[in-house]
Amino acid sequence: MRLAILSSLALLAIAPPSSVFAEADCSEPLVRKEWRTLSSEEKQSYLSAVQCLQKTPGKTSDSYPGVQSRYDDFQAEHIQMTDLVHFVGFFQPWHRMFVAQYESDLRSWCNYTGAQPYWDWSLDAVSPEAFLKAPVFDAVDGFGGNGPYVDSANDPSVVAHIPGKTGGGCITDGPFKDRKVSMGPGKSTKLNPHCLRRDIAPEFAASKLNSTMVDWVLSADNFLEFDIRVQGGISADAATYHGGGHRGVGGDLGEIADIYSSPGDPLFFMHHANMDRLWHKWQHLDWDTRQSDIGGPDTQFAYPFDFFGTNPSYANVTLNYKMTYHNLVPGPFVKVRDVMETQKHGLCYTYE
Ligand SMILES: *[C@@H]1O[C@H](CO)[C@@H](O)[C@H](O)[C@H]1NC(C)=O
Ligand SMILES: *[C@@H]1O[C@H](CO)[C@@H](O)[C@H](O)[C@H]1NC(C)=O
Ligand SMILES: *[C@@H]1O[C@H](CO)[C@@H](O)[C@H](O)[C@H]1NC(C)=O
Ligand SMILES: [Cu+2]
């Protein structure tokens, strides 16, 4: 990021005054593509880069004892920040930068030359059967599939029981089959090596991730309304597409369903890239207005109409709100204003 910003300043200094800042800043944006449109070779190079990041030394093990790799820096920072960055107005800006840093690290530390792909789950959520066959779950050209069925109906550790869950055990195939997830479940950043579990809930996914849901979310006419639709409620019933992706794949027991430790499943970044694509799409339906439309509370659950039955004091998030990433992202903070556009201020990507 710093390098990109510095080089863009250098470019500005020599560019004619009439040049458009966005072009000087980012003339060749990375083009993020849907997983199934990538060639087998492109899929393999992405999956290898993720595995490489999981072997690259981390930077934050002094703060988070469970960190074993650069990949783990992301999981740890998410665990640490969960209660500050979900059900707040900067939920989407925070995750936009989080995914962009991941993409940047895959490229700079692991020689990955592509963009972060995304998973358009609405293409698979056409039926429960189709969802189970989603290309992202492929054992060779994907992230592997479900775990074996584990009955969790009476498991007290389950936060929300997801109807129709079909798995719950350790994944049995794919490139992450033998990987030990370093931290989680839950809030702990202590080292707790464990297998990656998935607990796919195909009916739930088909009802929360289908194109009707996407169209409804995209039809919101201001950011606050859009964001509330994206984030949904806490219960399984009240989930929308954010919770639908996490719990449609993670069910009762999967890592990705854990609001804290979910980045332990590499599909987290595929899901969040798609959510970022939909925010980008929503913004560009009315770019003049929406490039600067932001809102919602800076404090978890503090929605004005008492959406979640709580009533903490709060301020509304503005473009000047400073988001924290500790040492994950360069610099002491990132302003919301700097991530409103995906081709400015060091961000440099778009969506196909
Ligand atoms: C990346 O490429 C450089 C130059 O070819 C090489 O020295 C380095 O080992 C590669 N790194 C990884 C993680 O593959
Ligand atoms: C599609 O999503 C909508 C909104 O969540 C839901 O009401 C509907 O039942 C879903 N359709 C199917 C076939 O699951
Ligand atoms: C935050 O914004 C909402 C919606 O515009 C408004 O109703 C509310 O009064 C604002 N809250 C504060 C603390 O400014
Ligand atoms: Cu999150």
Q: pTM higher than 0.75 for the full model? A: yes
Q: Is the pLDDT score of 248 beyond 70?
A: yes
Minimum-distance ligand 2 atom for the alpha carbon of 203: 14
Q: Which of 172, 171, 140, 134 is nearest to 253 (CA)?
A: 171
Q: What is the pLDDT of residue 164?
A: 97
Residue with CA nearest ligand 2 atom 4: 213
Band of residue 302 on the pLDDT scale cut at 50, 70, 90: confident
Band of residue 311 on the pLDDT scale cut at 50, 70, 90: confident
Sequence-ordered strand ranges (E) for the chain: 30-32, 322-323, 334-335, 349-351
Q: At 90, is the secondary structure helix, strand, or coil? A: coil
Percent of the chain past pLDDT 70, that is, above it, reads: 91
Question: Which protein residues are within 6 Å of ligand 1, measured from CB?
Answer: 52, 110-111
Residue type, 159: V
331-344 pLDDT tens trace: 999 999 999 999 99
Say which residue, 310 or 188, is predicted with more confidence: 188
Contact between 244 and 229 under an 8 Å Cβ cutoff? The reply is no
- From 301, 316, 318, mutation site for ligand 3 pocket: most ligand atoms within 8 A of C-beta: 316
- From 51, 110, 111, 112, mutation site for ligand 1 pocket: most ligand atoms within 8 A of C-beta: 111
Superfamily of domain 9-181+191-289+309-351: Di-copper center containing domain from catechol oxidase (1.10.1280.10)
Q: Residues 79, 81, 82, 86: what is their CA dihedral angle, to the nearest 10 degrees? A: -150
The phi, psi pair for 23, rounded to 5°, reads -70, -40
Q: Rounded to an integer, what is the distance from CA 58 to the centroid of its chain?
A: 20
Length of the chain counted residue by residue: 352
Out of 22-26, 52-56, 73-77, 287-291, pick the least confident. Answer: 22-26
